Structure 1
Amino acid sequence: MNVEIIDIPKVEDYRGNLGIIEKNTIPFEIKRVYYLFDVPSSAQRGGHAHKEQQALMIALSGSFDVLLDDGSDKKTITLNKPDKGLLIRSKTWRELDNFSSGAVCLVISSGEFDEEDYIREYEVFLKYVTT
């Protein structure tokens, strides 16, 4: 599967910890940053794949599950630590659910929003990755 857990460098201090994301932290140039918050625990987010874009997801607060699918294997990863990021490379279907109360999901993307890069139908995704 084309995903990886990335350690986010941190500076620990008795006043609180500091997480640092710089150009060497992730293997792509940052083009867009967005975050999900106030997601009801019964809601699902994601439900798509990208043709080219990569993303790094971080649970800044709380927790949530990320279902990952490359067309042949599936796995679920729980994100719940702000110093761990989930690197999702292109051509990987993702669905987010099981959001805890107060969860915040930060997403750092290798590309700006481009609807042409999205695959939003699962059957289309399967054809895309198997042909």
Structure 2
Amino acid sequence: MSLVDLVDLQVLGDDRGQLVVLEAQKNVPFDIKRVYFLIGTQPGVSRGFHAHRELQQAAICVSGQCRMLMNDGFKIEEVILNSSSKAIFIDKMIWHEMHDFSADCILLVLASDFYDEQDYIRDYSKFIGLLKYA
């Protein structure tokens, strides 16, 4: 089973342009409670380096590109996000990192719940330890 779950998003359009559709419980497999985006990430800066106990997310690179690293504690997979018509699903208890942001990268993230610092696991060794007892 792959850690990288890329979802094709519905793209509608005509000669005026395109519209990409994101719908909770349809092409986004959860109810959306929070939306945020990452912009202006400086060259050489990486983001993420955490997992969530319960939160699920979907990330879409609406402009530019970045490299996503997904890690379930047993295997690591990487994918380049570079299409506004693809979303990557980040399940709970998946360590994730974002690297190699292009200067024009806008990474949109949909989250299944509101921000809760207690849901974050920011220490990799703690993440691995929690997997052993799951």
Q: TM-score, normalised by structure 2?
A: 0.94
Alignment pair present for 1:16 and 2:17: yes
Distance in 2, matches of 1:10 and 1:130, equals 41
In 1, Cα distance between equivalents of 2:18 and 2:131 = 40
How far, CA to CA, are the matches of 2:100 and 2:119 in structure 1? 26
What TM-score do the two structures reach when normalised by structure 1?
0.96
Query: 1:61 and 1:119 mapped to 2: Cα distance?
Result: 28
Once the two structures are superposed, residues 94-126 of structure 1 have per-residue CA deviations (whole angstroms, 9 ceiling, x without a partner) of 000100111000000001001111000000001
Matching residue within 54, 58, 61 for 2:60: 58
The answer to whether the 8 A contact 1:71-1:130 is kept is no
- Unaligned ranges ≥5, structure 2: none
**Deviation (angstroms), 1:2:** 4.3
Kept after mapping to 2: 8 A contact 1:3/1:89: no
Two-structure CA RMSD over aligned residues (Å): 1.0
Partner of 1:25: 27
In structure 1, the gaps of 5 or more residues are none
CA distance in 2, matches of 1:40, 1:110: 27
Is the Cα–Cα contact under 8 Å of residues 3 and 71 in structure 2 kept in the other structure?
Answer: no
Percent of aligned pairs sharing the same letter: 36
Q: CA offset at residue 10 of structure 1? A: 1.0
Structure 2: how far apart are the matches of 1:120 and 1:32? 20
Residue 68 (structure 1) aligned to one of 67, 70, 80: 70
Output one character per residue of 1:60-119: Cα deviation in whole Å (capped at 9) or x when no partner. Answer: 000000111000000111100000000011000000010011100000000100111100
List structure 1 segments (4+ residues) > 2 angstroms apart after TM superposition.
none
> Aligned residues, how many?
131
